[in-house]
Amino acid sequence: MIVVDTSVLSLAFRRKARPAPEHARVRTLRRLVTEHIPVVIPGIVLQELLSGVRTSDEFQRLQQILDGFPVLLATHDHHVTAALIANACIRAGVVVSAIDCLIAAITLESGARLLTSDRDFVRMAPHCGLKLLD
């Protein structure tokens, strides 16, 4: 199973005036979906993506697309693991956000790998055992 981070989905669903070359992580996501490899998103990623959408039409369009992905909701244990990850990173001098720690915890507890373009997870991984999809 692959957990997809906000950074990849933002790239995949971003609207631009001029088409740009597709980002490598977006190509990976498309391949995973095409090959029917289980892809999930954490609930907090769903919330991040839907937050700040400008119009109700855009919100509904994006929500319909995201409804196609299974959502992993955070449990008590995920939040405890996220705190442990934050503490380990802080001890190592790595700055992390609470949301990134929660995404890492959900990924770890699911035995999954994380698809992300966010370098913060690369810095975090050695301190918590997070596996990233290359």
Which CATH number fits the domain that encloses residue 38? 3.40.50.1010
Rounded CA separation 11/29 (Å): 11
Would you mind telling me the total number of residues written for the chain in this entry? 134
Walk along the chain (134 residues) and give the pLDDT tens digit of each residue. Answer: 999 999 999 988 876 645 555 689 999 999 999 999 999 999 999 999 999 788 999 999 999 999 999 999 999 999 999 999 999 999 999 999 999 999 999 999 999 999 999 999 999 999 999 999 98
Q: What is the pLDDT of residue 19?
A: 52
Total tally of structural domains belonging to the chain: 2
Q: How many CA atoms lie within 13 A of 54 on its CB side?
A: 2
C-alpha distances (whole Å) from 62 to each of 5, 39, 97, 110 are 15, 17, 25, 25
85/66 same-domain check: no
Domain identity same for 63 and 82: no
Q: Judge whether 42 lies within some domain.
A: yes
Confirm whether 101 is domain-assigned: yes
Shared-domain flag, residues 58 and 8: yes
Are β-strands 39-42 and 2-4 bridged in parallel, bridged antiparallel, or unpaired? parallel
Does 133 map to a domain?
no
My answer on whether 65 and 89 are in the same domain is no
Nearest alpha-carbon partner for 86 in 107, 100, 106: 100
